[in-house]
Amino acid sequence: MERDPAKRIVITGLGLTSPNGNTLAEYRQNLLAGQAGVQRIPMRYMGEVNAGVCDYDPMKYQRRKEVRNGTRAGSVAIYCSQEAIANAQISWESVNKARVGVYIGTTEHGNVETENEVYNISQFEYDTKYWTHHHNPRTVANNPAGEVTMNMGIHGPHYTIGAACAAGNAGLVQGAQMLLLGECDMALAGGVSESIHTFGIFAGFKSQGALAEHEDPNKASRPFDKSRNGIVVSEGGAVYVLERLSDALDRGAPIIAELAGWCINSDATDAVLPNPERQAQCMVEAIRRANMVASDVHLVSTHATATPQGDIQEAKAIIEVFGSCPNTYINNTKSFIGHAMGAAGALELAGNIPSLDDLTVHPTINVDELDPECAIPNLVINEGKTVQRVDTILNNSFGMLGINSALIVKRFVD
Amino acid sequence: MTKDDVKQIVLDIIAEIAPDEDLSDIKSEVRLRDQLDLDSMDFLDIVMELRKQHGIEVPEDDYPELASLDSCANYLQPKFEAKASA
């Protein structure tokens, strides 16, 4: 186990917005109460669709002009980053802004603005002189992270990490790595999603036969249930303040948890179909790098998106790694909030972190009839479960083009 | 269309693109940039909204004509009138 505090990375702040909560406390309360947050929204060209929508107040940290000229992903990233700094009990004025890095994971960026502008010029016979000059600053891939730096006066490095739906984990990994390399002294790291504002994401999943349908929006996202029929797309974000333990201790920071290990690997098999063998390898490698064995992990937050095949594949991978670990419990957050895409990994981890203190595993809801092919031992279904120990959480996030990520956090012990 | 009408059109556009600004005491003869937090992208927004909402084109060489409400009115009034009589 790494003992050098300059080589240990800790979480010292957390800010989020989710379809069922705009603070960790509110989000956690709803996860324990079984309260989902999915609704029907109108979608251009498609009629109504199920979606997870956030209702945070952008005006809390932005001027109206910033909201108008910026992107939804940028706004979400700003809200989460500002909330994270507030949560970290930092005197922001005294922070050297040149030593703060911003690393935001995204599944995609630019679709929203491009679709909006194509629609806009369609109202003007496709004359491109009506195409907005805001298009390029809005669609550059670093936009959400860049908006954070402009809003908060941060002068250190910033960029986004494109990692499909593994992006939330990938943002956290990137932040940790940059701290270990000495590229920054404080990292704002996590993931964001604005995907509910692009019809293309919905239409693409629908064409793929992977868009969830249910008469009750809050029952549409149902991982591991026999009648699951696809994904509910959501927006949201979660940004963490990461610091080297040595710096966190020096400033007397509240330490929420420690990053214990991680792994990102690639299936190299199919653009959309998952590969349970590689998923299992990813989890095993993350556990190895954390100097743990599988039974040291007490909670596994699954990626499962409620597609018929994907859930079975992840269940296989988890059973392979944790099938003989009687004290490892399994849950899923997408059943509450849908799939928050680039934010998913960071948001799902956030909702589970309080388990380190309250020893309660929030359930996966909407399992009316468990699919026998998804019957993972210790899957916590429909009701939360208080357990003996939660010292360690492993957070799975997988994405298209065969990207897998597993991130392990543990309770901080000096 | 009077010059005051033109000024009001420009003010309405500014209210849209710079929603945080207080427009209640704008001085017509003073440069807009000296009274409001407007950048070059905002002036491009004014040009775009004149085009979209009113069919008025402002060539790039003429952008300095949009410096103040007075200069906007002087420059744009003939364009609005030409548009109205077209």
Q: Which residues of B touch A132 (CB under 8 A)?
A: 48
- Helix/strand/coil for A329: strand
A239-250: average pLDDT: 98
Say if the Cβ atoms of A63 and B20 lie within 8 Å: yes
Phi, psi of A260 (to 5 degrees): -100, -30
Residue B61 has a CB neighbour count (10 Å cut-off) of 7
A368-374: average pLDDT: 98
A347-373: average pLDDT: 98
Residue A124, chain B, CB below 8 Å: the answer is yes
- CA A194 vs. chain centroid, Å, equals 12
Joined tokens for residue B7? 């000024």
pLDDT digits (tens, 9 = 90+) for A223-232: 999 999 999 9
Which pLDDT score is estimated for A2? 74
Which pLDDT score is estimated for B86? 79
Which pLDDT score is estimated for A1? 67
Cross-chain CB nearest to A132 (options B19, B37, B48): B48
- 3-state percent helix, strand, coil for chain A, nearest multiple of 5: 40, 25, 35
CA distance A123 to chain B (A): 10
- CA A16/CA A27 separation, integer angstroms: 9
Contact criterion met (CB below 8 Å) for A391 and A341: no
Residue to mutate among B38, B43, B52, B56, with most A CBs inside 10 A, is B52
Which of A180, A44, A11 shows the shortest CA–CA distance to A114?
A44
Tell me the CB-side half-sphere exposure of residue B18, using CA atoms within 13 A.
22
CA distance A239 to chain B (A): 27
Residue A3, chain B, CB below 8 Å: the answer is no
- CA A106/CA A124 separation, integer angstroms: 32
Phi, psi of A103 (to 5 degrees): -130, 100
Q: Which chain B residue is nearest to residue A135, measuring alpha carbons?
A: B41
A344-359: average pLDDT: 98
Consecutive H or E run containing A344: helix A344-352
Residue to mutate among A68, A127, A128, A136, with most B CBs inside 10 A, is A68
When pLDDT is cut at 50, 70 and 90, the band that residue A414 belongs to is confident
Residue A119, chain B, CB below 8 Å: the answer is no
**ipTM of predicted complex:** 0.93
- CA B74/CA B51 separation, integer angstroms: 17
Q: Which chain A residue is nearest to residue B21, measuring alpha carbons?
A: A65
pLDDT digits (tens, 9 = 90+) for A199-212: 999 999 999 999 99
Which of A220, A191, A221, A206 shows the shortest CA–CA distance to A43?
A206
Q: Which of residues 63-82 of A touch B (CB under 8 A)?
A: 63-65, 68-69
Q: What angle do CA A209, A212, A213 make, to 5 degrees?
A: 105
Residue type, B37: D
Contact criterion met (CB below 8 Å) for A104 and A239: yes
Indicate if the pLDDT at residue A376 is higher than 70.
yes
So which residues of A are the catalytic ones? Answer: 165, 303, 339
Which pLDDT score is estimated for A3? 85
Residue A116, chain B, CB below 8 Å: the answer is no
- CA A25/CA A351 separation, integer angstroms: 9
